[in-house]
Structure 1
Amino acid sequence: MGDKGTTFCNDWLKLIFNGTAIANIADNAASSPLATLYFALHTADPGVGGAQTTSECAYTSYARAAVLRTPVGFTVAGTSVTPVNDVNFPIATCGSETATYWSVGTAANGAGKILYRGALSPAIAISNGVPPVVHNSTSITES
């Protein structure tokens, strides 16, 4: 299997996370482009075939975190992308669980398509009053 070139990796990440077209190859939807991507927290690896609901956290007050699909939401540099700011989830008002994975997907709720996923290190022990955060140092790298 071949690898993508560095320039194309950068173009690809900009298309997915910033909505920037790749000249002569791919355009962002003209009539109703996806303007927001959604981070989810998971108690186990949702897997390559999983949806955003697979092993998704379910503590009381949990909701996915919206991040703008623009350079205001994500920084793309070379073959990596990071959120511009920490991704903050609602504070647990009841229940406890441990988030071990994050995902970035297309839906605010429901099954949704996972675009990327990764392990949290360290895992987030969620309990009443604890603010779950995916830090802006979390990166996605294409190769």
Structure 2
Amino acid sequence: MAHGLSNYLCNAILDAVGNNTSLAVAVPYVKLHVGDPGAAGTALPAIETTRKSISFGVAAAGAIVSDADISWTNIAGSQDATHFTVWDNLTAGNFLFSGQITAGAYTAGDTYTITAGNLSASLTVAS
């Protein structure tokens, strides 16, 4: 299973720290998957391919948490979303990170929502 930060994001963070490069994602976008998206973030995409913008609160204790609902209206297909990926572009761009979704079943035509506070990313903090 390949959940977590992408190779692209790991390298970008290290270059920002070690090589004085900038790292900024203007708008992150989340995409649904029906299984583990793999190291490239492209495996097992959901029938619903629309990426939705996501916003996060300020990082604390090595984690960021979504601070607004993310909704797909009139969703395509009936599936069980089990994973997500986050990207730096609406339709192309770079895969940033992935994770799991719980209770992600939906029916075609439904509105599917990941409520605020229910999508997060974290890094292990030294202790």
Global fold match (TM > 0.5): yes
Greater fraction of residues in strand: 1
- C-alpha distance in 2, partners of 1:34/1:120? 23
Alignment of 1:42-57 (within 5 A): 42-47=33-38, 49-51=39-41, 53-57=42-46
Q: Deviations over 1:22-70 (max 9, x none)?
A: 7x864536xxx641111000010102x223x4211124xx411013xxx
Once residues 25 and 121 of structure 2 are traced to their aligned partners in structure 1, the CA distance between those partners, rounded to angstroms, is: 19
The TM-score with structure 1 as length reference comes to 0.63
AA at the equivalent of 1:91: N
The answer on whether the counterparts of 2:26 and 2:88 sit within 8 Å (CA) in structure 1 is no
Contact 1:74 1:81 in 2 (8 A): yes
Larger Cα Rg: Structure 1 or Structure 2? 1
Structure 1 residues 80 and 26 mapped into 2: Cα distance closer, same or farther (>3 Å)? farther
Instruction: Give the equivalent residue in structure 2 for 1:38.
Output: 29
Q: Match for 1:99 among 74, 77, 81?
A: 81
Runs (5+) with no aligned partner, structure 1: 1-11, 68-72
Q: Closer, same or farther in 2 for the Cα pair 1:82/1:26, shift >3 Å?
A: farther
CA RMSD of aligned residues (A): 2.7
Any idea what the Cα deviations from partners look like across 1:52-102, whole Å, max 9, x if unmatched? Answer: x4211124xx411013xxxxx21122211011101112322x521111101
Structure 2 segments unaligned to the other structure (5+ residues) = 1-8
Structure 1 equivalent of residue 60 of structure 2: 77
Cα distance in 2 for partners of 1:78, 1:26 equals: 24
Does the 8 Å contact 1:87/1:135 carry over to 2? Answer: yes
